[in-house]
């Protein structure tokens, strides 16, 4: 997986600063997938690059005779550098990319990025390693912001956060901040992977805050969580106000406003903290909420503004059953994909998604059956409609899923965990979608992977791998295969290209060795996991069912050659050319430039 879908969403939705300076020693694909949280738009997503430190810059050459004379490789390397496709490597482009990164990192203002603006945040508590745990333990509700002083998005949040702290002064909640650049251990303990990261602690348990970064939103969000969670409705006007103003409400029609029924309801409300819970004993109010005033109490109803507006609860009146009912029914049958709805999809506890792609002029034809099908999968699958002719967010998501044209196309997606996709085939009818959804839940569908067309000829030194010939080339048990996963726009990939071509040229006589590359933006394969571009993987012959080895040697011909000599299942040796060409004066510079890129990686 090059990117995950929710990660894509996050890039649309959130502004974050990267942490790469801070935790450069922690490299995992999970982290890499968070690196991009700070990109604001897909344009930025496609344009910028960030540095990923490599874990190890040195290669263990123990198995390779160190005295092997490899100078001929370097010399040829220098020589063929001249007139090689080096022009592809456009320094200016790369600078531009980093320019974008900087701007994004530090916000759009002209502020000196390292100068913290003056903010009066006297009501924001400063926490450090030494007093963090005690403080969290002794305060029931604490919001904590992990920030980096240099991060523009944190600077933008600071005055809002300070104002929220002041407004909430006297309530049962404290707003605190931790400078993650100083409190490294704390930031690690709380898995801080971008700035700002805001958590809300309730009795020591934390949950992320993903709401808007302004005072109003923070205050409203917090008030909801520190309030009683369950409110009385006694007046008709009050009931009317609630029904018109709130998007999702639960009403319990009880025998009494105090006692066990009310307690179960209050407990359920704490488990579903994005829905407002009310209780009443007034039959007229129950009626307004579409309950039969004569119904046996306790009764409960969930009312939302979207399709299928009313859901009646018919389970046992205990907190778990109520909470499950609300969980299954609170999401709209179909979520229309927008910037605003993104978080409800991706922060949902339901991870599996079924996405309908269609342009707006044909959507009305397909949405009704799609929506009808959704009723069978409440609480198990999220149904999302993506308007492909929306260039702002619909098109990028369609591109991510490899969907072209106006649709309709339906794709099931397992979410971020393994990122598998399944393509719906046939007419968009209720029964077919239902069968598709069932097959998806039971894991009976065949996954789909993006692929360019298989190239007609493929006899260059570097073999072209696409999704659909991956098995044939990369998983061929008789070959040792080195695979570069690149992106056309990636500067580091372009810088690597001449070296990679030279390596392939040197090794082309060796039958058991394949040097290959794959455009990771248009091709996918479950065995081609990459956490950025370029990713270089080695698949040893005779051992293709194991995970490949990630190659992180220096990006020079010699280093690659030594790596291959060490790891290839089928031993090989290059014959030194009879008369090695003389090195050009540029040899040295060419070489050092390439190795300086060894720890650089563009990410998507």
Ligand X SMILES: *[C@@H]1O[C@H](CO)[C@@H](O)[C@H](O)[C@H]1NC(C)=O
Q: Which residues of this chain interact with ligand X, rule CB under 6 A?
A: 125-128, 130-131, 135, 228, 231-232, 257-258, 359, 361-362, 389, 406, 542-543, 546, 569
**Alpha helix (H) residue ranges in 356-457:** 360-374, 394-400, 430-441
Per DSSP, the chain holds a count of helices (H) and strands (E) of 21, 22
Q: How far apart are CA 444 and CA 446, in angstroms?
A: 7
Q: How far apart are CA 181 and CA 558, in angstroms?
A: 38
CB nearer to ligand X: give 244 or 361. Answer: 361
Please, what is the minimum distance in Å from the beta carbon of residue 552 to ligand X?
Answer: 15
Please, what is the minimum distance in Å from the beta carbon of residue 262 to ligand X?
Answer: 8
Q: How far apart are CA 154 and CA 14, in angstroms?
A: 12
CB atoms within 10 A of CB 259: 10
CB nearer to ligand X: give 124 or 154. Answer: 124
Q: Tell me which residue of 546, 547, 548, 526 sits closest to 536, measured CA to CA.
A: 548
Q: How far apart are CA 403 and CA 449, in angstroms?
A: 12
CB nearer to ligand X: give 279 or 311. Answer: 279
Q: Is 426 left (phi over 0), alpha (psi -120 to 50) or beta?
A: left
| Beta carbons within 8 Å of 420's beta carbon, 6+ residues apart | 413, 414, 447, 526
| Cβ-contact 521, 549 below 8 angstroms | no
Catalytic residue (one of 36, 73, 154, 564): 154
**Eight-state DSSP code of residue 137:** H
Please, what is the minimum distance in Å from the beta carbon of residue 199 to ligand X?
Answer: 16
Please, what is the minimum distance in Å from the beta carbon of residue 108 to ligand X?
Answer: 31
Sign of the torsion formed by the C-alpha atoms of 459, 463, 467 and 469: positive
Please, what is the minimum distance in Å from the beta carbon of residue 477 to ligand X?
Answer: 11
Q: Tell me which residue of 413, 560, 393 sits closest to 480, measured CA to CA.
A: 560
**Eight-state DSSP code of residue 148:** -
CB nearer to ligand X: give 59 or 414. Answer: 59
Please, what is the minimum distance in Å from the beta carbon of residue 540 to ligand X?
Answer: 6
CB nearer to ligand X: give 98 or 135. Answer: 135
Please, what is the minimum distance in Å from the beta carbon of residue 283 to ligand X?
Answer: 17
Please confirm, yes or no, whether 490 is among the known catalytic residues. yes
Q: How far apart are CA 79 and CA 581, in angstroms?
A: 8
Q: How far apart are CA 80 and CA 142, in angstroms?
A: 62
CB nearer to ligand X: give 11 or 262. Answer: 262
Catalytic residue (one of 239, 464, 490, 536): 490
Q: How far apart are CA 451 and CA 75, in angstroms?
A: 37
CB nearer to ligand X: give 64 or 362. Answer: 362
Local structure of 374: helix, strand or coil = helix
Please, what is the minimum distance in Å from the beta carbon of residue 391 to ligand X?
Answer: 10
Please, what is the minimum distance in Å from the beta carbon of residue 325 to ligand X?
Answer: 22
| Cβ-contact 288, 240 below 8 angstroms | yes
Please state at what angle helix 71-81 crosses helix 587-596, rounded to 10 degrees. 100
| Cβ-contact 136, 70 below 8 angstroms | no
Instruction: Give, in degrees to the nearest 5, the angle at Cα 579 between 576 and 582.
Output: 105
Q: How far apart are CA 444 and CA 467, in angstroms?
A: 21
| Beta carbons within 8 Å of 21's beta carbon, 6+ residues apart | none
Catalytic residue (one of 144, 493, 518, 564): 493
Please confirm, yes or no, whether 17 is among the known catalytic residues. no
CB nearer to ligand X: give 382 or 398. Answer: 398
| Cβ-contact 129, 183 below 8 angstroms | yes
CB nearer to ligand X: give 68 or 406. Answer: 406
| Beta carbons within 8 Å of 306's beta carbon, 6+ residues apart | 332, 333, 334
Catalytic residue (one of 17, 51, 151, 157): 151
Q: How far apart are CA 15 and CA 32, in angstroms?
A: 16
Q: How far apart are CA 96 and CA 117, in angstroms?
A: 27
CB nearer to ligand X: give 162 or 345. Answer: 162
Local structure of 518: helix, strand or coil = strand
| Cβ-contact 563, 499 below 8 angstroms | no
The catalytic site residues sit at: 151, 154, 490, 493
């Amino acid at each position: 997986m090059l990117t995950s879908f929710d990660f894509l969403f996050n890039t649309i939705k959130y502004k974050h600063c990267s942490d790469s300076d801070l935790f450069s020693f922690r490299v995992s694909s999970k982290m890499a997938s968070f690196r991009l949280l700070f990109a604001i738009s897909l344009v930025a997503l496609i344009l910028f690059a960030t540095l990923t430190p490599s874990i190890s810059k040195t290669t263990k050459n123990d198995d390779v005779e160190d005295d092997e004379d490899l100078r001929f490789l370097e010399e040829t390397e220098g020589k063929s550098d001249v007139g090689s496709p080096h022009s592809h490597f456009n320094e200016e482009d790369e600078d531009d990319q980093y320019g974008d990164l900087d701007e994004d990192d530090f916000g759009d203002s002209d502020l000196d990025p390292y100068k913290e603006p003056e903010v009066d945040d006297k009501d924001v508590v400063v926490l450090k390693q030494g007093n963090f745990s005690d403080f969290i333990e002794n305060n029931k509700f604490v919001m904590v912001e992990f920030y980096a002083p240099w991060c523009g998005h944190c600077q933008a949040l600071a005055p809002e956060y300070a104002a929220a702290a002041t407004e909430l002064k006297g309530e049962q909640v404290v707003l605190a901040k931790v400078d993650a650049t100083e409190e490294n251990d704390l930031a690690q303990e709380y898995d801080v992977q971008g700035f700002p990261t805001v958590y809300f602690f309730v009795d020591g348990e934390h949950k992320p805050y993903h709401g808007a970064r302004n005072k109003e939103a923070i205050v409203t969000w917090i008030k909801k969580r520190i309030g009683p969670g369950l409110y009385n409705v006694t007046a008709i006007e009050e009931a009317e106000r609630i029904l018109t103003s709130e998007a999702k409400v639960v009403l319990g029609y009880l025998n009494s406003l105090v006692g066990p029924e009310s307690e179960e309801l209050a407990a359920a409300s704490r488990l579903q903290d994005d829905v407002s819970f009310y209780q009443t004993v007034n039959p007229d109010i129950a009626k307004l909420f579409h309950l039969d005033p004569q119904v046996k109490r306790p009764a409960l109803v969930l009312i939302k503004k979207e399709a299928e507006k009313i859901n009646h609860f018919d389970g046992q009146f205990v907190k778990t059953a109520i909470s499950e009912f609300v969980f299954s029914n609170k999401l709209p049958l179909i979520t229309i994909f927008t910037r605003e709805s993104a978080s409800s999809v991706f922060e949902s506890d339901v991870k599996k998604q079924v996405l309908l792609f269609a342009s707006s002029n044909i959507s009305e034809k397909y949405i009704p059956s799609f929506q009808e099908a959704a009723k069978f999968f409440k609480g198990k699958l999220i149904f999302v409609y993506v308007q492909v002719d929306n260039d702002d967010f619909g098109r990028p998501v369609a591109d991510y899923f490899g969907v072209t044209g106006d649709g309709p196309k339906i794709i099931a997606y397992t979410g971020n965990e393994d990122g598998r996709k399944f393509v719906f085939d046939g007419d968009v009818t209720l029964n077919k979608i239902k069968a598709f959804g069932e097959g998806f839940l039971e894991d009976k569908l065949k996954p789909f992977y993006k692929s360019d067309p298989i190239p007609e000829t493929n006899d260059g030194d570097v073999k072209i791998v696409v999704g659909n010939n991956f098995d044939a080339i990369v998983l061929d048990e008789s070959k040792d295969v080195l695979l570069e996963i690149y992106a056309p726009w990636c500067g580091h990939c372009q810088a690597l290209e001449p070296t990679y071509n030279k390596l392939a040229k040197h090794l082309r006589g060796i039958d058991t060795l394949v040097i290959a590359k794959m455009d990771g933006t248009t091709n996918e394969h479950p065995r081609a996991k990459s956490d950025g571009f370029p990713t270089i993987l080695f698949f040893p012959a005779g051992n293709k069912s194991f995970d490949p080895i990630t190659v992180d040697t220096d990006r020079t011909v010699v280093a690659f050659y030594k790596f291959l000599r060490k790891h290839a299942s089928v031993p090989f040796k290059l014959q030194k050319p009879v008369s090695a060409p003389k090195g050009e004066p540029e040899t040295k510079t060419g070489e050092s430039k390439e190795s300086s890129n060894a720890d650089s990686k563009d990410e998507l």
